[in-house]
Amino acid sequence: MTAVRPETASTGLLRFPPGFVWGAATAAYQIEGAVAEDGRTPSIWDTFSHTPGRVHNGDTGDIAADHYHRFRDDVALMSDLGLGAYRFSVSWSRVQPTGRGPAVQRGLDFYRALADELLDKGITPVATLYHWDLPQDLEEVGGWTVRDTAERFAEYAAIMASALGDRVPYWTTLNEPWCSAFLGYGSGVHAPGRTEPDAALKAAHHLNLAHGRAIGALRSILPATAQTSITLNLHQVRPLDQSPAALDAARRIDAVGNRVFTGPILHGGYPADLLEDTAHLVDWQALVHDGDLAEISRPIDLLGINYYTPTVVSGPLPVQDGADATRFDGHGASAHSPWPGSEQVAFHLPPGETTAMSWAVDASGLYDLLRRMAEENPGLPLMVTENGAAFDDYVSPEGTVNDPRRIDYLRGHLAAVHRAIADGADVRGYFLWSLMDNFEWSYGYSKRFGAVYVDYATQTRIPKSSAHWYAQVARTGEITEPDAP
């Protein structure tokens, strides 16, 4: 597939290029349920969600959306919505319960059956190997803070490539390693819930190493036509103003939020300013072994980009002026920072519309991010692998779910993608987050991102008005231009 410029029709329609991939995404722990069936053992998210006080309302992913038992119905729903691709993640502990040794065939059979069902309906399966659910057995011996976990991940990648390589054409190693490292080991709002700045940085390096080694394992097994990638939740960082303090804050957050991954993965090295900012926390010379950077920077075929909202920062605020809202970074409440080496940076919520997550709605951030990645990585195709919004959805007395604000959000962000393509960014596809309402990590079931409403008591699925709108987009490859602000 090669990049094709989009069209803007005189009727106000924005037409996406032929072959543009229209999909939706989910994650294993958020939807599968069946956490103790067919050989699956606990992941760090099972342990975390069952720890009192960690998740809103004591919610867990034990049942979630029961996708493990209902996947055929869910695939039929995807087909009804005209999706061209479905991005799912594999539960590591479902196929390799301890993170070591041979696979459990029943676990592999589930993902084989899922891929076959998708293919039967004309939907392209897109597999993500890791969406935050590390086998608990590996966390017990250090988790992502130790190098051995990268070795185990490469072995797991080889297992999955051997099992699904004949069915799955797109492979993603890691989803949002920033969250795994810095929310899991820094602020503690994600599993495993540790609050150690040095551990967060070690985890980031070992996740990078795991990615590189997994790419090597995948490439040794997959057909040459397979596409490999990593998905990063890159932060579109903006200084609050042009003061030196705000500009330095933006530089710092860009380093520990973005370039800690894009540097080694795409450019072969960690940025010097990141190393300087964090030298008091970790010995990078001891952490990064000879040969690590060569492995981490193995070529990939696609870069996945997840975007929801921009990140606005300034230098430290005086205590008397530092209201809670100005310190909100959008990643959950914690007394511990997920920004090691930049703990004093202040975060600001921009004015204007927000989602149920209190995230600012600003599609220009997606445009800016796509253009930046295109300029910094010429020749590397991009995909928007997650984009969406949570709103307070409810079922009407007529049994429908109307979510016009989500439609407006999606239209604006798709227009930003269209504009980025028109301006030269090689964006190959777009995956809506999420296909259905699900377990939203530490927020439990209190936040709904889905295009499909899930009644968790009955497991009834109700496509929202946004699902029908997106189905039309997926079928035609067109959107109407959003109204000018």
**176 tagged catalytic:** yes
- Give DSSP secondary structure letters for 18-76: TT-EEEEE--HHHH---TTSTT---BHHHHHHTSTTSSGGG--SSSTT-HHHHHHHHHH
**DSSP letter at 227?**
E
State how far the Cα of 360 lies from the Cα of 308, in Å rounded to an integer: 8
- Give DSSP secondary structure letters for 124-185: EEEEEEESS--BHHHHHTTGGGSTHHHHHHHHHHHHHHHHHTTT-SEEEEEE-HHIIIIIII
**276 tagged catalytic:** no
Residue with tokens 């445009």: 367
For residue 39, the one-letter residue type is G
- Give DSSP secondary structure letters for 343-402: TT-EEEPPSS-B-TT--B--THHHHHHHHHHHHHSTT--EEEEEE---------TTS---
243, 101, 263, 111: which is closest to 178 by C-alpha? 263
Residue with tokens 């007394």: 335
Of 32, 117, 295, 386, the catalytic one is 386
For residue 68, the one-letter residue type is Y
Check: CB of residue 119 under 8 Å from CB of residue 63.
no
Of 176, 295, 343, 478, the catalytic one is 176
- As annotated, the active-site residues are 176, 386
